Structure 1
Amino acid sequence: MHILFVADPLSSFKIYKDTTFAMMREAQRRGHQVLACEPQDIVWQSGQKVTARVQHVRLTGDAESWFNVQSVDEHYALNSADAIVMRKDPPFDSEYFYATHLLEQAEREGAKVFNKPAALRDHPEKLAILEFAQFISPTLVTRSADAIRAFHAQHRDIILKPLDGMGGMGIFRVKDDGLNLGAITETLNRDGAQTVMVQKFIPAIDKGDKRVLVIGGKVVPYCLARIPQGGEVRGNLAAGGKGVAQAISARDQEIAEALGPILAKRGLLLVGLDVIGDCLTEVNVTSPTCFQEIFDQTGFDVAAMFIDALETAAA
């Protein structure tokens, strides 16, 4: 198979933990050809197919110079790849949005893209939980400062976060005393111009914000609990959280088995569910991670499970 990864620059990868690297390594191990491009390399012109400037890559096994570019195809037709894996990291900004439309045009020309571009657009990672409200904590989505104050008065200990944040960016906790609630609200909702998500604080965060992976509708048996450190309320690895792999709980399994088949039918081959305690907090579809951390700590080969699913889906 020729597998094209649409991703950030390869030179930016931290290969000791990068999930896209783990996917590439497993694909090459099986004899597949690894190709790579960035979203800005994708081009469409009337009367032609969607093309991209694509690097044909060989992984070296060297930690420093981990890949060689064997050749560059300036006008590679995306529908000539056996599978395209969209792995551009957030933010989900306008350019990401435009890239999904170009990839969707490639689909119309016969390309097979994972995760499906339309499904990426239809599942914003924070708002996607609204469809599965039976699994979430009390939640408010609003621009209204008054509504936020009322929610705090009811629940007393809350988390506020922007809808476009990533890696724990912009997350605030306001306790019972309401200290700085007004200032935080003004910062996040920009005087009513921007929508904010507010949730009842879940004390179980001290045991970790768990990343539960679902591949092809099937649940990976281990999750990565990202445990806050040093008085932080955020468990995100980017915010200094400690990643501890562990077997998923019965509740994790329940949530993942409920969502997995639904999301897989929509073209979401890989999903990362965030679970704190018993509550679903996010549905990550753009570039879910934690493959290597789980493998390093448990021996379970998540990348192999993913490539198995990719081979089946692309067949």
Structure 2
Amino acid sequence: MNILFVADPLESFKIYKDTTFSMMREAQRRGHAVFACEPRFLSWRSGGEVHARVRELQLTGQVEPWFIQNDVASRPLREFDAVLMRKDPPFDSEYFYATHLLEQAEREGARVFNKPAALRDHPEKLAVMEFPQFVSPTLVTRDEQEVRRFHEAHGDIILKPLDGMGGMGIFRVRADGLNLGSITETLNGGGTTTMMVQRFVPEIVQGDKRVLVIGGKPVPFSLARIPQGSEVRGNLAAGGKGVAQPLTARDREIAQTLGPVLAARGLLLVGLDVIGDCLTEINVTSPTCFQEITEQTGFDVPAMFIDALEAAVFTAP
């Protein structure tokens, strides 16, 4: 296969942990050709097809340089067997526009994973609200009084922006309500911005678990991101420690319930965030943790992913 990765600049990759790199490495190991471009190199001229200025890569197996660039050319996306959208958040206007260009490429015959429309339809924090049976009590609002009523009902709460990533902008307010008004004003922009409020889940001390679902099926191990020191956030970007562990019965129940539903919508790879028994996020833009799970458990997550990608491409109608 010829596989195009739409991703962040290659020069920014931390290959010792980067999931997109691990996908590229496994694809090349199987004999597939690897190409890459950044979203800013997507283009669409009226009357024509969606193109991208792409780099053909050869991975070296070394730390530096980790790739050799064989060629740079503008090519229609439909010429690739698979296009993987792996641009990291934030899901801003430019990401949104990129999904529309990728969707047009689909109409021209490209196979894009995850499906562009599904990326738009599953905002990573809001998407959990479709599955209330797995979610801690949650409120989505921009109304300060609703936030205060939610706090009165639940006492210990987490507040966060809907567009945050890596633990950015997450606050905990305990029963005393200290700084609740100030935090709400900060997150809701004085009533102009929607935010999310959830009952605090004390099992966060055991980790914020990343449960990967590939082709509708769960990876048998999660990566628990465990907060360190006095930090309430387990995100690796916020200093959390990643510990791989087998899925619990509840993890598996959540993954096996959501997996087929999300796969049917065109989401080949999903990262579910689970704290205790509660689903907190559904990550669809560029889920990570492949290398950490593989290194700690021996289960080859990149191989499972490329298996699923090959199956999706070769069984296409």
Distance in 1, matches of 2:64 and 2:231, equals: 33
What amino acid does structure 2 have at the position aligned with 1:293? E
TM-fit CA distance, 1:302: 0.3
Aligned counterpart, 2:70? 70
1:117 corresponds in structure 2 to 116
Matched, 1:90 2:89: yes
Counterpart check, 1:314 vs 2:313: yes
Matched to 1:50, the amino acid is V
* Structure 1 residue 48 corresponds to structure 2 residue 48: yes
Aligned equivalents of 1:219 and 1:156: distance in 2?
34
CA distance in 2, matches of 1:83, 1:196: 35
Match in the other structure for 1:167: 166
Aligned to 1:295: 294
> Which residue in 2 is equivalent to 1:103?
102
Q: Secondary structure at the match of 1:24?
A: helix
Name the residue aligned to 2:270.
271
Structure 1, unmatched stretches of 5+, are: none
Once the two structures are TM-superposed, the CA of residue 294 in structure 1 deviates from its matched residue by 0.2
The residue identity in structure 1 corresponding to 2:127 is A
Q: Give the whole-Å Cα distance in 1 for the aligned partners of 2:15 and 2:280.
A: 28
Q: Displacement, 1:48?
A: 1.0
Matches of 1:136 and 1:172, distance apart in 2: 18
* Cα separation, 1, equivalents of 2:280 and 2:269: 17
Give the match's secondary structure for 2:36.
strand
Deviation sequence 1:71-125 (CA, Å, 0-9, x none) = 111x211000000000000000000000000000000000000000000000000
Question: Offset at 1:314?
Answer: 1.0
Match for 1:221: what amino acid?
P
1:60 aligned to 2:64? no
**Cα drift, residue 6 of structure 1:** 0.1
Cα distance in 1 for partners of 2:308, 2:195 equals 35
What TM-score, normalized by structure 1, do the two folds share? 0.99
Q: How does 1:1-315 map to 2 (within 5 A)?
A: 1-73=1-73, 75-315=74-314
Deviation at 1:47, TM superposition (A): 1.5
Distance (Å, rounded) in 1 between the aligned partners of 2:229 and 2:239: 9
SS across alignment from 1:121:
helix
Q: CA RMSD in A?
A: 0.4
Deviations 1:216-275 (A, max 9, x none): 001100000000001100000000000000000000000000000000000000000000
> Any stretches of 5+ residues in structure 2 without a counterpart?
none
| SS in structure 1 at match of 2:131 | helix
Alpha-carbon distance in structure 2 between the residues aligned to 1:10 and 1:312: 27
Counterpart Cα distance in 2 of 1:308 and 1:21: 16
Residue type of the alignment partner of 1:20: T
Q: Distance in 1 between matches of 2:155 and 2:9?
A: 44
Query: Match of 2:312, as an amino acid?
Result: A
Instruction: Give the drift of 1:134.
Output: 0.7
Report the AA paired with residue 114 of structure 2: N
- Counterpart-to-counterpart distance in 1, 2:297 and 2:175: 39
Aligned mates of 2:292, 2:46 — CA distance in 1: 44
Q: What SS does structure 2 have at the residue aligned with 1:281?
A: strand
Structure 1 residues 141-189: Cα deviation after superposition (integer angstroms, max 9, x where no partner) = 0000000001001100000000000000000000011000010001000
Secondary structure class of the residue paired with 1:260: helix
Deviation of the 1:19 alpha carbon: 0.1
- State the alpha-carbon separation in 2 of the partners of residues 95 and 127 from structure 1: 20
The DSSP-based 3-state class of the residue aligned with 1:295 is helix
Identity between Structure 1 and Structure 2 (%) = 75
Q: What is the distance in 2 between the residues matched to 1:90 and 1:310?
A: 22
Q: Which runs of 4+ in 1 moved over 3 A?
A: none
Output the CA distance in 1 between the equivalents of 2:16 and 2:64. 11
SS of residue in 2 equivalent to 1:225 = strand
Q: CA deviation at 1:64?
A: 1.6
Q: What is the one-letter code of the residue matched to 2:197?
A: V
Q: 1:67 & 1:254 partners in 2: Cα distance? A: 40
